[in-house]
Every structure is written in C-alpha cells, then in structure tokens.
Amino acid sequence: MIEAYLGRAILVGLRIGALMTFAPFFSNAALPIRIKAVLTVLLVLLLLPVYAAGSMAQPAEGIASWTAAALAEIALGWMIGFAIQFVFDGMILAGQIIGFQFGFSLVNVLDPNSQVEITVISTFHELIALLIFLQMGVHRWLLRVMDASFQMIPLGGLSHMPVNGGMLLRLAGAMWLIGAEVAFPVIVATLVVDLTIGFVTKASPQFPALFFGISVKVLLGLAVLFGAVAYWPAILERHFYHALTHLESLLAIAR
C-alpha cells in the first residue's frame, strides 16, 4: 500500500517537475534552483492527497511499465510547458529577424536559459514578453492547466492514450505566426528605407548611401519597434489564450 502510494507520489512529482523545467518563468535561470525545488515540493504536497490516492490508468507493474508511466508524466509536463514556450520562441524569432534587418546580427549575447547566442533585440523581445506574461498572470493559468491535467489524464495514462500530432504541430506553428506578426511593421519600415535609398542612389550615384542608409533604417526601425510595443500585450494575450485552449483540447482528446 505504501509502495503504491509512494509510486503515485513520484509520478505526480515528475509531471509537476517537468512543468517547472520547461515552462516559461518557472524554468528561467534567474529563478534559484532551491526556490524551484521548494515550489515543486509544495505543489506535490497540495495535489498529492487529491490525485495520488485515486486509481492509475493502469497499475505499473515491473520496471518497464513503471518507466513508461514515468516518461509519460515527464512528456505531459513538457507538453504543457512548451505550449507557452512556443509563444516566447516566436518573440525571439521576431527579434532575430529585426536584428538582421538592423544589421545587428553580429551583436549577440548569451541567453542564460537556452545557452545559445541571440541578438540584443531578441533579448529585448524576450524580456518584454516575460513582463507581459507575469502581468497577465499566465503563470497562474499554467498551474490551473496542470491541475486540470490530473483530472483529464490519470497518472500514467498518457502512455496508453493517442496524442494528436497535428495539434502539437499547430502549437509549434504559432511560433512562426508570432514572429511574422511582431516583426512585420519593422520589416515594412526598413524595406521602405531600403527602396528609397536605392532609388536615391540610382538617381545620384554620389549620394553616401552606406552612411545614411544604415543610420536612417535603424532609427526608423527602432521608432516603429517602440511604437509597436503598445500592441504586444493584445497580440500575446491572444496567442497565450490560443496556446492554452489548444493544450486543453489536446488533453481532452488524449483523455
């Protein structure tokens, strides 16, 4: 009895721990590991009496079945975390595109979360997205979805249920949509500058296009970028809502 209850407690911890590892804000490198561990333990203690006492989808007997159940719990927590992480990846992608348009592609910094080099503009996008994420309370939405996942999918249940691959691809595809939507105003502004400078250079070959073109393009692009920031909360709120809606639909289908 104690062994079965402990096994279910471990599965609850694995699902919550995977969320803490992959979800935005919770997985941020600026958040100390001890705080993440304490928060994970507290969530396990809160959810354990409710869900660990219930029956599993199929009792895990043997190393193979228990390992499959554990991997399924990790995959479920990963899926919940990455549903929102794709929105942040879209913002980073938009920053990469804009940085390339500005000629900042060589000005890179090390992202402490992904441990890869990204442009300074991408860092700006990621930080603004994180502030909007916290201001809207999306981190609380994630915890609610995590709680609902235990009601929809019992412990170890994902390993015996089909997962809609098309919906997972739609969640990932949101990254490209967000990147294009956020970067579009700046791309249009910089493209207009490039075309204007090109026509001026064609009419007057003596015009110092390299000197004026880059400066005007960066200044106009930054002005458009800072003006477009006012519309980011509405854009991100819509995509956060769509991500969580698709995620709940995915969990309901897998139930």
Tokens encoding 52: 């660990």
- pTM to 2 decimal places: 0.83
Distances (CA, A) of 73 to 29, 194, 235: 23, 51, 31
Domain boundaries, the chain: 2-254
**Whole-number Å distance between alpha carbons of 237 and 64:** 42
**Whole-number Å distance between alpha carbons of 241 and 227:** 24
> Which regions of 105-230 does DSSP assign to beta strands (E)?
108-110, 117-119
Of the given ranges (54-63, 90-99, 128-137), which has the lowest mean pLDDT?
Answer: 54-63
- Grade residue 162 by pLDDT with cuts at 50, 70 and 90: low
pLDDT at residue number 48: 80
pLDDT at residue number 204: 76
pLDDT at 161 over 90: no
Of the given ranges (1-10, 41-50, 52-61), which has the lowest mean pLDDT?
Answer: 52-61
pLDDT at residue number 52: 59
Compare 161 and 131 and report the one with higher pLDDT: 131
pLDDT at 177 over 70: yes
> Which regions of 111-217 does DSSP assign to beta strands (E)?
117-119
Question: Span 121-144, mean pLDDT?
Answer: 90
